[in-house]
Amino acid sequence: MTFQNTKEFARSLDAQDALSKYRNEFIFPKVGGKNVIYFTGNSLGLQPKRTKAFVDEVMDDWANLAVEGHFYAEKPWWDYHERFANPLSKIVGAKPSEVTVMNTLTINLHLLMVSFYQPQGKRYKILCEAKAFPSDQYMIQSQVRHHGYDPKDAIVEIQRREGEHNIRHEDIIAKINEVGDGLALVLIGGVNYYTGQVFDIEKITKAGHEVGAKVGWDLAHAAGNIKLELHEWNVDFAAWCSYKYMNSGPGNASGCFVHEKHHGNKDLVRFAGWWGHNKERRFKMEPDFDPVNGADGWQVSNLPILSLAPYLASVEMFAEVGMDALIEKRNNITAYLEFILHEIDKEVDSTFEVITPTNPEERASQLSVFLHGEGRALFDYLMKNGVITDWREPNVIRLAPVPLYCSYEDMYDFGQILKQGILSH
């Protein structure tokens, strides 16, 4: 398709967009009485309008049934989390028994590392990407210290080549092979939070397994954003937050994946809790832990139903839309945004460097833009003029055109505001 930098063309794309109706399913903040152009769904998704009904239902059941809501609510709290199994399994490419919801992201990664980071002898190293999200860095450092290792020795970081913004996949595979039988675990973010680079989960997982390591993924920026086939790719474990692309609300519950090949291993070390115990025997209060056969067996505590309600509202919407339709629009609207950026770049004689890969297979709903010659003042201008975006030092803005609620007209309007912001400084 040949793009045009005009409002009429953008509107014509919206008129052809099968997902355009979902824009009205969300509540937009306003600046100057107008809906904002929202580019930070990679940090916190907008609130779906249907969320309130799901939360109100739980509140009403609590008011009217109190403790009996566990068994007699319209959606009994006792098995509330099981409603996620089918829709979430389709979002991440898993079997329903391989997914669950519980806790928050870093807590879940810690719990999963208890099971899947079991250093022995010379096999104790963890491979991750340089400039991983700080939570992952801190988590991995604390895990290796817990096992008595020095992070400087035990953690192997994949570096970007000098002068390059993204990590080359061949360098990841080469480093896995170099560490070889010293590698206990590969743990990488499926999408790098800073650059928006999408990693080849299938190939990296295969390479890790070939040297005898376990392979896990932090899918915070991937779940609900990219095509995942966690079961087919033989991933050992994964976890993701729900409040970015899946719009469940600030700091909300995390999803987990544990491959079915591990479900029957009741000797696998884990930090256990009552809610992970055999569901049929849970209220017998038995002294010995008998884990549920599946990802639910990694649950620890009674689940926070009020937190799960908004997530269930969003998961229902994903089930209606389907990942294939989301990804098709994601690719088109991201390409249009990239086109707009380059057009504005030419008009204002500035220099924008998109540091996200240009290869559509290595990017998703995010373009990270290095604003050469521009500073924080431009970001502040955008925010004051109704463009909600994200600033990362030294001078990168992250733009996430989420396909569920961003429009092509948003992309055009953003370009015009961006141009005025540059010319006014």
7-35+322-423 and 53-321: same fold? no
pLDDT tens-digit readout, 204-242: 999 999 999 999 999 999 999 999 999 999 999 999 999
CATH superfamily for 7-35+322-423 is: Aspartate Aminotransferase, domain 1 (3.90.1150.10)
Instruction: Return the domain boundaries, the chain.
Output: 7-35+322-423, 53-321
The pTM of this model reads 0.95
- Tell me the angle at which helices 305-321 and 85-92 cross, rounded to the nearest 10 degrees: 60
Query: What pLDDT is recorded for position 410?
Result: 98
pLDDT tens-digit readout, 74-128: 999 999 999 999 999 999 999 999 999 999 999 999 999 999 999 999 999 999 9
- The band of 423, judged by pLDDT with boundaries at 50, 70 and 90, is confident
Query: What pLDDT is recorded for position 161?
Result: 95
- Tell me the angle at which helices 105-116 and 134-146 cross, rounded to the nearest 10 degrees: 40
Q: Which residue has the tokens 């980071």?
A: 117
Strand 30-31 and strand 37-38: pairing?
unpaired
Q: Quick one: average pLDDT of 282-311?
A: 92
Query: What pLDDT is recorded for position 281?
Result: 86
Query: What pLDDT is recorded for position 1?
Result: 80
Q: What percent of the chain has pLDDT over 70?
A: 100
Q: Quick one: average pLDDT of 343-353?
A: 85
Query: What pLDDT is recorded for position 374?
Result: 73
Spatial separation of the C-alpha atoms in residues 382 and 31, rounded to whole Å: 11
- Assign domain 53-321 to its CATH architecture: 3-Layer(aba) Sandwich (3.40)
pLDDT tens-digit readout, 17-72: 999 999 999 999 999 999 999 999 999 999 999 999 999 999 999 999 999 999 99
Give the residue, 425 or 124, on which the prediction is more confident: 124
- The per-residue pLDDT of the chain, averaged, comes to 95
The closest of 258, 254, 46, 227 to 135, measured between CA atoms, is: 254
pLDDT tens-digit readout, 371-409: 876 778 889 999 999 999 998 877 899 999 999 999 999
